[in-house]
Structure 1
């Protein structure tokens, strides 16, 4: 049991290492965190409802999680094949496309939340 608990604690440590690495080094993550901060401030400003906060937090988490996975996929691709390769390029494009799906979903959620407040 002790070994299990120590393993979980180490796993959490590794997760936070990756978390802080992304925040410090990845420009896309940094940009998206800035946008998340702006929308968080806007949410407080227009006093969105609890349900709207839930959707907003989920949308922000979706974009940041997808961007993090995209970064991991790109790093794996670059490690496996550092030179230009069309198949690797396609893999990277697909991973980037996943981020686009997440970002478009987040924009739709933001529109559904904020447009009614600005139309009042």
Structure 2
């Protein structure tokens, strides 16, 4: 089957959204780190309703959940491409994968800081 680009605006966008949804489902169902992070995101949403967080807190919480999941998705893509290009261990590939994982670390630490700022006052 040959790829054919859809040049119409509306159907092209629908197809793009379909591919994006397919990718999101693949991430959630195949990548353990995304499974864990998605589960934590659901728990934070439940906590948000339980503690009746403000609209601003909802916006920031939603942003950091999306940030972590997005960066993890990009990290996964980098790892898959690197493994495809060079399946055996290679020092430069390892360096690239470590940098991508470092980006996830920064996003996760930011998310933890934000979540603590939202929820610690609820317990005090």
Gaps of 5+ in 2: 1-5
Greater share of helix residues, 1 or 2?
A: 1
- Partners of 1:55 and 1:5 lie apart in 2 by 31
Distance in 1, matches of 2:118 and 2:69, equals 19
The answer for unaligned runs of 5 or more in structure 1 is none
After alignment, is 34-43 or 2-11 more displaced? 2-11
Q: TM-score, normalised by structure 2?
A: 0.91
**What is the RMSD computed on CA atoms of the aligned residues?**
1.4
Cα displacement (A) at 1:61: 0.2
Measured after TM superposition, the shift of residue 25 of structure 1 is: 0.6
Deviation of residue 5 (structure 1)? 2.6
- 1:68-119: per-residue Cα shift (whole Å, max 9, x none)? 0000000000000001000000000000000000000000000110111111
Alignment partner for residue 73 of structure 1, among 75, 78, 81? Answer: 78
Deviations 1:6-50 (A, max 9, x none): 222221111111011111111111000111111111111111111
2:43 to 38, 41, 51: 38
In the other structure, the counterpart of 2:3 is: none
Partner of 1:110: 115
TM-score by length of 1: 0.94
Match of residue 7 from structure 1: 12
Q: How many residues align?
A: 119
Alignment-derived partner of residue 88 in structure 1: 93
**Greater Cα offset, 86-95 or 1-10:** 1-10
